[in-house]
Structure 1
Amino acid sequence: MKFIDITEFGAPEVLFTNTTPPPHPGDNEVQIRVIAAGVNRPDVVQRQGLYPAPAGASPILGLEVAGEIIALGDKVDSWSIGDHVCALTNGGGYAEQVCAPASQCMPIPKNLSFVEAAALPETFFTVWSNVFDRCGLKQGETLLVHGGSSGIGTTAIQMAKALGASVFTTAGSETKCDACLELGADLAINYHESDFVDVIKEATAGKGVDVILDMVGGEYISKNLKVAAMDGRIVNIAYLQGPVVKTNFLPIMLKRLTLTGSTLRPQTEQQKAAIAKNLKEKVWPLIESGAIKPVIAKTFQLEEAASAHQLMESNQHIGKIVLKVSDE
């Protein structure tokens, strides 16, 4: 099978097309003919040598795919050969075939293409796990999403709005802010022009926000403490501006804040299966109704993975970047 290989860490140009024998499913896995694969920030960091694959995982890049099941592990009875699925993989998505735990596969929503479905698993698992499981966002509360035009951001805005929350977001241009508003954000702040702390405090009459989803870090860490409401919850899922800062922790005590964080890939199969169950029950119906729809920035052929990574690193895209791997 064809796959995207890497023999040294570095810039996007280190990615190249190679061939290798296809994988074989373990007892609890399915083998998928990949039609489309999502591109995510962890892929970029792995390519740079800063995010090694966990022990036992495929070293091939790619954490989410959509395609057709072509083989079943001996203990799999929840899927059939020929089923169309999207899956959160443990690696290996940038390839014509991949194996994934059966419990991390989900049916493709009836109204979505394979390309759209490939944009679901990594971001939807991440948003659900952090915003709803870890931080317990409830109907009627407020969510602040940093990087609202990213794949994570566009997912979080739509999911939170569909489940009854108000959503504030930050983005780096008026075009990106407009896109966030079109997706349902109640307020989008261009961080090049305004301080989000001042804008949100004014918009909430000083109350602040209940939940903050932050992938920026750096100076945002201190600002998040300032803008969080009483009993607020802050979750970090990345540190694009760095994880080391000097800050005043007094607001955590005075406002009874919860400061947490997580990564998705190292979590157990059982933990990911629980997230998948919640998504199928509570979010998939919203996708099928049209209330939530993946936002696709651009699609590349598998052989153009380097160009896809260049676009990801440019931060000029709105939504998800997807690789087209095989014909439907």
Structure 2
Amino acid sequence: GLRLFVPQRFFVKVLPVFADLIQNPAFIEEDFSILKEKSKESIKLNLTKTRYTAMKGINNQLFGDFHPRGWLLSPDDSDLINLNEIKEYSFTNFSSKNCSIHVSGSVDNGTIKQIEEYFSKNFGDTKIKKNKNENKFSTKDTSKYYQIPNAVQSSIYMAKNLGKLSDEEIIDIGILNTILGGYFGSRLMKNIREEKGYTYGINSFLTDYDNCTVLKITSDLASKYVDPTIKEIFNELEKLATKPISNSELNTIKNYISGEILSSIDGVFQHSAIWEKLISSNRNENFINQQFERLKNISAAEIKQIANKIFNKSDFYTAIAGNSK
């Protein structure tokens, strides 16, 4: 999305320029050529980075070569795109039919009227199109090593596709993920960073796509610690699936997540960002209330049950990037 931060006294002057930028973008051949070269150099640089390579690798293993999330880019791919394709993509995908406007800060009726004046007309392709990208898996590479010459460290990405989840499941697994690796005092950080000293940092997170949610675990570390770290990750998954967490840890997690939610809606811009996220995922403010209610009532036994359901070792994909020589 595009964001505009502007003092209210300049809003009237800036708004028509901003609207024109969105509705009538100028695509200049010279600028496009420069951007293609920058893109090519950026891809070259990224392919020397272990974290980037492992991240792209795990997406390829999860979604396959023929899904946009799974494509492995090469520098020469930049040369395959022409300006007409960019224009067509812009016209098709950036239109009034899939556009929403979120306004926060010093807003009055005059502000709303001005926005309506410049954005009331249709722009772009107004036909509603369905996403053609199906969530298919076309790879059997559950574990893969990506060799990067001269790399001084290795990076690990582990992931499991959880499929399409309900709001209730998203909330439950979000709580479980926080316990696993979602904050500084998580199981993974305590074991692998603080006790074992294998890495300076390790974390887990959920990526919520339109048709699935993926749990990912990632860390950068010395190559000699790759195998021991993967072993300890699976150990922590097994512990959560077989042993209830203590009441002390559960209370810590509840307080931490509650604080994070409150912090995320503290202030007009944060409030706007939350609404943007809710609307884009077809949710409303009740989702936040659901989170608080679930935090209040979830038990250690329920968390163990959720972990037992999703932490199946054979379902996880692993991507390792580094220099094995």
* Larger relative helix fraction: 2
Q: Same fold (TM over 0.5)?
A: no
- Scaled by the length of structure 1, what TM-score is found? 0.22
Higher strand proportion (structure 1 or 2)? 1
Q: Which has the higher contact order (CA 8 A, sep 6+)?
A: 2
TM-score calculated relative to the size of structure 2? 0.22
